[in-house]
Amino acid sequence: MNVEMWVRALKAARAGAEVSQEALATLTKWSPSTVAAIETGRRRPTMEFAVAADEALSTGGLLAELLIAADRQRLPTWFVPWRHHEEQATRLCEFEPCLIPGLLQTDDYARAVISAGGLNSVDVVDELVTIRMDRQQLWQRAEPPQCVFVLDEIALRRPVGGPAVLDAQLGRLLELAVMPSVRLHVVPLDIGAHVGLTGGFLLAELPDGEQVTYVEDVARGHVIDDPEVVRLVGRKWDSLLGEALSTGASLDLIRKLKVTP
């Protein structure tokens, strides 16, 4: 199963239900241009869209199941569960001590990160960069999740990809920060030790109120829903927010670090 086959399944389901492309857009509350882009392969379907299309076309969850199968072939197996949590989340909180978070990365910055050390072939780098950029489709939703990002100041200073790539990345942060659904905070270097020095993490709040967390080790990522672990990560998150600069002061710092206007 791949995305092309998923699109064929969507078209077949729509034809069987005698629903036009425009009518599907109305039923799913997505724009006609988005539905057209998905059906022509110019935009990757999200789980949110698949679930809405299943409901609109009375397919009993088939499109969602097929999209999961397509992702299993495309994504690292350990990342698939988090990808679907991320797509359904109403709120996302992320802390990163060393890098700009993937949801905020430019193409060039992501490419520099993924190609570092020469561990991946050119084809694998291209595919992983595409996947990372696909995740950012959540910014195009009619109602994107509320997202709060806390970055260590070192992540803003490390010249990933070189000075020009970093400068463009800082510009991207400033662009995203004006979105109503995005808040950025920076933990300044003069704080010294803080609870996030041991590693980054994400917290997702799902529509039913459940919270899950995602952490990575040197080899893979892990989705954890154990309440005790989630509470611990939540305490770390609260501590980091307490240490971080305000949104306004954080954006001022990013502007000072950015070289070009």
The answer to whether residue 109 scores a pLDDT higher than 70 is yes
The encoded tokens of residue 198 equal: 């041991």
pLDDT at 75: 75
pLDDT reading at 72 higher than 80: no
What integer best gives the mean pLDDT of the chain? 92
Distance CA 175, CA 166 (A): 14
Rounded to whole angstroms, the Cα distance separating 102 from 112 reads: 12
Round to the nearest angstrom and report the end-to-end CA distance of the chain.
46
Please give, one letter per residue, the 3-state secondary structure of 183-212: EEEEECHHHCCCCCCCCCEEEEECCCCCEE
pLDDT of residue 1: 56
Nearest by Cα to 206 from 195, 194, 214: 214
pLDDT score of 210: 94
pLDDT in tens, 87-100: 889 999 999 999 99
Residue 217 half-sphere exposure toward CB, CA atoms < 13 A: 5
Identify any residues that bridge with 173 across adjacent strands, giving them in sequence order: none
Q: Rounded CA gap, 150 and 16, in Å?
A: 47
Tell me the two tokens of residue 195. Answer: 């609870």
% pLDDT > 90, the chain: 68
What is the model's pTM? 0.78
